[in-house]
Amino acid sequence: MLFFHKAKYTIRDIGLKSDIHCHIVPGVDDGARTPEDHANMLQAMKEAGIERMVATPHVCKSLYPNYASDLRAVYKDTLLAAEYMVDDDFREMSSDPLLYPDGKHILIEMSYFERSRNILDEIFRLREMGLCPILAHPERYRFYQESPAGMAELEKIVDMGCQLQLNVMSLTGVYGPGSKTILRNLLTHGMYSYIATDLHSAHQLEMMNRFYVKESWLDLLHSLCLSNEALFFLPDSVSEP
């Protein structure tokens, strides 16, 4: 394993300035509970070098029945998208989807323990609608870690036009060897498009700010940070470098 016995790095080392996945809206999911939590998370993100973010509350009818109209009405402090659970209620809950500011991308997830039986159908449908789904933290799904077919399905998902988003916390190894293996394969094969904190509380940033990876990965991780930027702008407003 070449994963851990390397130098310790922080979020600043990879240049994550624009976060595209965090749970900072108070009182709507398992992230910030209070306005104080919200303020503490913003302060911790600022100290970690994160300059802006898109808030992505969970949307899952059985656990977090957050409707887009309600979220838009209560949360106006920063940019707002959502993290949609792909389950039997997904079509209903995403009928008026909260997209990234670029107006094209939508963040989706599955249960960590049970593959969504409709995941491929919904990715196909979203693509037919002209949207670009982003699957959150593929390295965390146990069914991909434990099955040799896991990487094959992720390759299929990417081929269908769904992008993948890496969680910073996964770099710490806290999710176990199966997660590390998937992460390494996806990262070194260029299959991730984005990276994010998926922050649920301020103290999580302390853990994220000490991960050990090969030095050669820093450029790969930095390029994901740069890719995040495109989600903040309408396509024709992105200036050429």
Q: Which residues bind Fe ion (CB under 5 A)?
A: 83, 198
Q: How many helices (H) and strands (E) does the chain have?
A: 10, 11
Nearer to Fe ion, 83 or 87 (CB): 83
Nearer to Fe ion, 57 or 150 (CB): 57
Amino acid at 71: L
| Min dist. Cβ of residue 169 to Fe ion (A) | 10
| Min dist. Cβ of residue 136 to Fe ion (A) | 6
Nearer to Fe ion, 158 or 168 (CB): 168
| Min dist. Cβ of residue 23 to Fe ion (A) | 6
Please classify residue 171 by burial: count the beta carbons closer than 10 Å to its beta carbon, then call 0-12 exposed, 13-18 middle and 19+ buried. Answer: buried
| Min dist. Cβ of residue 237 to Fe ion (A) | 27
Nearer to Fe ion, 145 or 165 (CB): 165
Please classify residue 51 by burial: count the beta carbons closer than 10 Å to its beta carbon, then call 0-12 exposed, 13-18 middle and 19+ buried. Answer: exposed
Q: Which residue is nearest to Fe ion (CB)?
A: 198
Contacts of 95 (CB under 8 A, 6+ apart): none
Strand order in the sheet with 105-109: 58-59, 83-85, 105-109, 132-136, 163-167, 194-196
Nearer to Fe ion, 83 or 122 (CB): 83
| 206, containing H or E segment | helix 204-208
| Min dist. Cβ of residue 5 to Fe ion (A) | 30
Q: What is the CA radius of gyration of the chain?
A: 17
Encoding tokens for residue 3? 């994963």
